[in-house]
Structure 1
Amino acid sequence: MDNLEQLNQSDLEDFYRLYLYAFTNTDSEERRLFFNDRYNHSLKYGIKHNQKLSSGMLSIPFKINFHGVHYKMNGIGDVMSYPEFGGHGAITKLMQRAFNDMLHENVALSYLAPFSYDFYRRFGYEEVFDRTVYRIKNTDLPRIKIEEESGEIERLSLKEAIPFIKEVYANNPSSHNAGLIREDWWWDYLVLKHPGWQVGIYFSDDHLAAGYVIYEGVETTFKIQEIMFTNWESYQYLLRFICQHESMFFTFEYASGDPMGHPDILKNPANVDVKIEPYMMARIINLETFVQGYPFLKKIKSTRIAVTDKMIPANNGIWRLMVNANGTSFEKISNNENNMADIRVSIQELTKALLGYRSLTQLNRVGAIHGTYEAVTNLDATLRKDPPMLWDYF
C-alpha cells in the first residue's frame, strides 16, 4: 500500500539512501553535511510503499527579490524514485501535494533545476533562467592597468568572506531580477557544499567591501562562480585579480547568471568563447498573490486575461486586471477560462512574460498566446523587461 506523507527527521537516513541511489552519488562525510542541512531547512515529501520510502522530494522555502518586491518562492529539489517504482504517477502526486501546501502558505513562485525541461513542463514550469558561459585562454586575457591605486584585494575562504560580501550581494542590482534573498543558513549551506570555493574581495581605502569574486581552481581551469561589484573601480580591481592567475591556469571560465553575453568588454571579442545555456525553470504558484504585488511600470486599463493551469485549478479562469492611482486590482470574474477575454495564456507563458524572459508581443507573434493587438501591446508596455537572473542552484 502506498502512502504520501510529509516526512520528518526520523526519515532522514532513508531519504538520504534514496538520494544516493537515484542520483548515483557516493556517500561521504562532506556530502552528508550539506545534504543534512538542506533536508533540515526543507519541507520533505515522500511516498512509502509498504512503509518503506519509494519516492521523495524537497520543497525549500526561500524569498526572492523581484525589482524590489519580495516574494515567497519554494525551490523544488531531489525529485526521485527508486527505479522499480517509476512510471506510476508518484512525482505527480508529490508535486500536487507540494503545490497545495504552497498555495496554503501564499507562496507566489517555485523554481527548479530540471533533468528534463519537457518532463517538468507538464507540471507548469517553464525555462526562464539562462546563463552566459565565458571561456578564454590564459594567453588571451586582457592586461588590466589601474592608473590610480586605492584600496586592496584580500583572499579569503568563503566562510571567512561571508560577513563582508553578503551585503554586497544583497544590494547589487544583479540579484534583484528574481534572484534569491540569501538568508544566513543558505550562505552557510554554500560553505558546506563548496569547501573549495575561495573569494577575492576588493576593499576600499576605508576597508569597506565594494566587490567580490567567488572562484575555485579545477585542474587547469580557473572557474568563476560569481562576480559582484559596486562601481568601476571595484570592477577593475576584480578583473586584474582574476587575470593575475594567468600563470597558474590555462583556461578561465565564468558561468554568469546574466543571460546577456558581453564579449565587447575585451579589446578583441573574438578571443572569448561565449555561449548562452538554458539553466533553471520557474512557475507561478499563486497567481493572485504574484500579480497583486507585481511592480507594474504603468497604469493599465481594465484587461480580461484567460489563464489555463492544468496543475493548479485556483489559477484557472478569467481574471480582470487594472492598475491605477489606487493600486493594482486583480480579481477572478469567471471560473471558465473559455469565456470572453482580451488575452488567452497558459500559466507557463504568463510566467515567462511576467518575469521578463519573453515579451507578450513576442509570444503573441509566435502563437504562444492569443489576444487582440491593443490588449497585448498595452499590457506588454507595463511589464518588466529586464531578463531574470539566478545565481544559485538547488
Structure 2
Amino acid sequence: MIIRALREDEAYKAAMADALAFQILRDIEQKKKDGRLGNFAVGAFEDDGETLMGKIEVCPFQTNFYGEYVKAMCVGGVATRPEYRRAGCIRRCFEYLFDAADRFSWEISYLYPFSYAYYRKFGYERMTDSYDMTVKMRSLAHFERRTDFVLLEREEQRQELKTAYLRFAADINGMLYPDERLLPGHGTCDPYQTGRNTYIGYENGEPACYLTFECNSPEVEVHEFVFTTPASLRAMLGFLRTYDAQADTVKLHRVALDSPLFFVLNELIDVRAELVLNTMGRAVNVEKLLRRVPFTADCGEFSVSVVDPQVKRNNKIFDFACANGKANISTRETGEYDVRLSIQAMTQLLHGNGGFELKNAAYRDGVEIRNQDGAERLFKAFPKRSSMIIEHF
C-alpha cells in the first residue's frame, strides 16, 4: 500500500471512490476531461501507486479558538471502494495527515461523522452539538413586528453578512472564518429561484443580524440565523412574526445549546428542542492550543498527562502554574501527574464544551485521576465556551 497526495489530474479517481462508496452518480469521463480536485486529498493506493483504494479530502479552513482564528484540518470525502474495505486504507491516510499537520500548521481538526465509534479510533470526540428548535408562532406574539429588514439580492451585500457573522462568532469556539470559499454559502441572493430568503437587520446603520429561511406553509424553516445583540435577536423574531398568517410554527436549525433564545421566548411550553449531534473534533497540536487558552482563574499548580496513540508529539505531561490571571505551562516526558486524559477527553477540555466536568469524569474512558486536588484545579482552570459550526464540509 502506498500513501500519497492525489494529483490534480486524479480528480476522477476520487469521484470513482465516492460513487462506489456512497452509491452516487458521477460522470467519470467528464471528470477525466475537466475535473480538478476541489480540496487537498490523500489516497491509499495499490502498490502500483496509481490504483486508488480509499481517500480522505481536507478543507483547510480557519476556525475560531478563544477569539483567534487558527488553521484547521476539516475532514470530508472519506471514502473507500467496497473491494478494499477493512484493509486499513483510511487509518493509513489519517496517519499521513497527522504527520503532515505541522507542515500545514493545522492545530485542530473537525469532521462530520458517519459513526462516532469509528472516528473515536482516530482521536475524535463529539464537539459541536446543537438543537433543532420548533416554536409555535403564537410564542412570538410578544415581540414587536419588524418590517425594516433588507432582502439580500446583490453579491456585494454578502460583506454585510460577514460583518454580522464575525461579531456573532467572536466568542464561539469552532466557528469557521467566512473566507472566499465559505462566504458564498451564507445566505442566498436569488430567492426567486431557490425559494429561500435572506434578510438583514441593522442597528445604527450597521448590520446586526441576518436570517435565511423558507416558508412552506404551515411552517417557516430557518436554516441560518445570526445575531449580535439582545435587540437584534428580538428584532429577528419580530420579523418572523410577519409570516404568522402563513405559518403556525417556526423551525430553527443549529441553535446553540446555551442559546439566549431560551431567555427571550415567553412560553417555553410551546417549544420543542431536538438534540442534534453535529461535528466531532480532535486536537492535532495540544501544546499550541493550550498556549492559546485564556486561563484567568488562579488555580495554583497541577499537571495533566495526555495520551494520543496517533499523534506522538501530543504525548506529554503538561505542568501548569496558574496565578494572577496567567498560566505558565511547561512540558516533560515522564514523571508523576495529577490527571491522565485521552486525546478525546483533552480535546473536549480544550474546547470548553461537551459537558465534560470533574463530576462526570469517572464515567468516561480515558480518564485517570491520581490526585483529587489537582483534578479540581485542572477543571476549574479551563474556561467554559460555546461551540458551533454552521457550515457543512
Query: Does TM, normalized by the shorter one, top 0.5?
Result: yes
Residue type of the alignment partner of 1:236: R
CA 1:153 to 1:190, structure 2 compared with 1: closer, same or farther past 3 Å?
closer
Verify the 8 A CA contact 1:106 1:286 in the aligned structure 2.
Answer: no
Q: Which has the larger displacement, 94-103 or 310-319?
A: 310-319
Residue type of the alignment partner of 2:209: G
Distance 2:13 2:246 in 1: 43
1:154 corresponds to which residue? 150
Deviation at 1:102, TM superposition (A): 1.0
Q: How does 1:1-150 map to 2 (within 5 A)?
A: 2-27=1-26, 39-40=37-38, 42-49=39-46, 50=48, 51-138=50-137, 140-146=138-144
Distance 2:202 2:246 in 1: 24
Classify the secondary structure of the residue corresponding to 2:240: helix
Verify the 8 A CA contact 1:301 1:322 in the aligned structure 2.
Answer: yes
Distance 2:14 2:336 in 1: 48
Q: How does 1:1-394 map to 2 (within 5 A)?
A: 2-27=1-26, 39-40=37-38, 42-49=39-46, 50=48, 51-138=50-137, 140-146=138-144, 152-157=148-153, 159=155, 161-173=157-169, 176-189=172-185, 196=194, 197-204=196-203, 206=205, 208-217=206-215, 221-249=219-247, 251-260=249-258, 262-263=261-262, 265-324=264-323, 328-334=327-333, 336=334, 339-357=335-353, 358-366=355-363, 368=365, 369-371=367-369, 372-394=371-393
Verify the 8 A CA contact 1:153 1:241 in the aligned structure 2.
Answer: yes
Deviation at 1:96, TM superposition (A): 0.8
CA 1:204 to 1:385, structure 2 compared with 1: closer, same or farther past 3 Å?
closer
CA 1:57 to 1:240, structure 2 compared with 1: closer, same or farther past 3 Å?
same
Deviation at 1:299, TM superposition (A): 4.1
Per-residue deviation, residues 210-266 of structure 1 (Å, max 9, x unmatched): 211122346764321222223333223211222322344454211224123644533
Q: Which has the larger displacement, 224-233 or 171-180?
A: 171-180
CA 1:331 to 1:210, structure 2 compared with 1: closer, same or farther past 3 Å?
same
Deviation at 1:64, TM superposition (A): 1.6
Deviation at 1:377, TM superposition (A): 1.3
Distance 2:232 2:265 in 1: 17
Residue type of the alignment partner of 1:364: A
Distance 2:187 2:21 in 1: 24
Per-residue deviation, residues 260-309 of structure 1 (Å, max 9, x unmatched): 36445333211121122211111110111111222112345442211111
Distance 2:172 2:136 in 1: 31
CA 1:103 to 1:243, structure 2 compared with 1: closer, same or farther past 3 Å?
same
CA 1:238 to 1:112, structure 2 compared with 1: closer, same or farther past 3 Å?
same
Classify the secondary structure of the residue corresponding to 2:152: strand
CA 1:137 to 1:26, structure 2 compared with 1: closer, same or farther past 3 Å?
farther
Verify the 8 A CA contact 1:169 1:175 in the aligned structure 2.
Answer: no
Verify the 8 A CA contact 2:109 2:282 in the aligned structure 1.
Answer: yes
Distance 1:113 1:218 in 2: 28
Q: Which has the larger displacement, 376-385 or 72-81?
A: 376-385
Distance 1:264 1:233 in 2: 13
Verify the 8 A CA contact 1:69 1:295 in the aligned structure 2.
Answer: no
Residue type of the alignment partner of 1:43: F
Residue type of the alignment partner of 2:78: V
What CA RMSD, in Å, does the superposition of the two structures yield over aligned residues? Answer: 2.9
Verify the 8 A CA contact 2:53 2:84 in the aligned structure 1.
Answer: yes
- For structure 1, the 5+ residue unaligned runs are none
Verify the 8 A CA contact 1:67 1:178 in the aligned structure 2.
Answer: no
CA 1:55 to 1:157, structure 2 compared with 1: closer, same or farther past 3 Å?
farther
Verify the 8 A CA contact 1:22 1:80 in the aligned structure 2.
Answer: yes
CA 1:94 to 1:272, structure 2 compared with 1: closer, same or farther past 3 Å?
same
Classify the secondary structure of the residue corresponding to 1:244: helix
Deviation at 1:62, TM superposition (A): 1.6
Q: How many residues align?
A: 377
CA 1:158 to 1:314, structure 2 compared with 1: closer, same or farther past 3 Å?
farther
Distance 1:381 1:76 in 2: 32
- For structure 2, the 5+ residue unaligned runs are none
CA 1:276 to 1:367, structure 2 compared with 1: closer, same or farther past 3 Å?
closer
Distance 1:104 1:205 in 2: 44
Distance 2:221 2:375 in 1: 42
